Amino acid sequence: MAILLQILFNGLIAGSIYALVAVGFSLIYSTGRFMHFAHGAVVALGAYLQYWFFNLIGINFYLSFILTLFSVSLIGYLMHRFVYKPLKDRGSSSAVLLIVSVGLMIVIENFILLIFGANVKSYSFLEIRKGIEIAGALITPLQIFIIAISVALFLLLYFFMKKSKLGRIIRAVSDNPELARISGINAHFVHSASFIIGSAMASLAGVLIALEQNLEPTMGLNLIVKGFTGAVIGGIMSIPGSIAGSFFLGIVENAGIWYLPSGYKDAIAFVILFLFLIFKPKGIFGVKKRDE
């Protein structure tokens, strides 16, 4: 029993980390309809900016986080304004944008490498100690906090998308960009907003993930691969769905390696991805289209 609970916890911890990455990625995808793979590198950038403010300059941790949040949001906006938007305005296909996003990812990773070096870094902000025991299973306060943030984001975004004006506009654009534009919605504003909000979430993800598993320049690639998988499983057009999909992925992966050799962990993740793409391509929370 304790072991089942421990696996569930392990799955939730992994899932919440994937979810933190997936949510921003999915937001940007649903409004802009292209894969912003550099999102993983933006997460890493957030983690490193926090390291810079907190460990190198010596600003208070929470104040550093606010600075990081604003800087990364600004960088996200600039990426949209000076890289993606000019290309989109020329009518570039989403394949071009995909390649550009991979290029951006490489540029950001190498930039981090250049400034901070290749060594693994740590904030050394929290002490490593035995986790809290809940019915025989162990979990640390930081992990509970990370899970809570993911769940809170899920609820917040669910209601934000359903009830708020901006949420409705974002859904309108993601549902049918042409129709939204004809109805007088400023698509450029929505795209900028999605990059700013998405990048802000990336910085939150970056700092929490770095607290949990240290910093390295290439951390973004692994994160975006799993975040992307979680987003597809949950329904990439649905932001709450991408969070649910990430939790699902985390739990299945960890439950899976309890029975299978642990070397198959990534294989489990990608088999699930294939199954979803074949049988339920719109994901768990897939948005239905009228004409399909």
Query: Which positions touch other proteins (CB under 8 A)?
Result: 3, 6-7, 9-11, 13-14, 17, 87, 90-92, 96, 99-100, 103, 106-107, 110, 113-114, 117-120, 128-131, 138, 140, 213-214, 216-218, 221-222, 254, 257-258, 261-263, 265-266
- 24 with 220: CB under 8 angstroms? no
- Nearer to other proteins (CB atom), residue 10 or residue 194: 10
- Give the 3-state secondary structure of residue 101: helix
Q: Which residues pair with 133 in a beta bridge?
A: 138
- Write 54-61 long-range contacts (CB < 8 A, 24+): 54/123, 54/125, 55/121, 55/123, 55/124, 61/123, 61/125
Distance CA 189, CA 170 (A): 10
Least gap, CB of 271 to other proteins (angstroms)? 15
- Nearer to other proteins (CB atom), residue 60 or residue 124: 124
- Nearer to other proteins (CB atom), residue 75 or residue 236: 75
Interhelix angle 165-175/187-213, nearest 10 degrees: 100
- 217 with 121: CB under 8 angstroms? no
Distance CA 159, CA 55 (A): 37
- Nearer to other proteins (CB atom), residue 248 or residue 285: 248
Least gap, CB of 145 to other proteins (angstroms)? 14
Least gap, CB of 70 to other proteins (angstroms)? 26
Least gap, CB of 7 to other proteins (angstroms)? 6
- Nearer to other proteins (CB atom), residue 83 or residue 166: 83
**E strand or H helix that includes residue 227:** helix 219-234
Distance CA 206, CA 220 (A): 9
Least gap, CB of 92 to other proteins (angstroms)? 4
- Nearer to other proteins (CB atom), residue 22 or residue 236: 22
- Give the 3-state secondary structure of residue 287: coil
Least gap, CB of 121 to other proteins (angstroms)? 10
- Nearer to other proteins (CB atom), residue 57 or residue 107: 107
Other beta carbons within 10 Å of 72: 27
Least gap, CB of 63 to other proteins (angstroms)? 26
- Give the 3-state secondary structure of residue 133: strand
- 36 with 26: CB under 8 angstroms? no
- Nearer to other proteins (CB atom), residue 55 or residue 214: 214
- Give the 3-state secondary structure of residue 112: helix
Least gap, CB of 76 to other proteins (angstroms)? 19
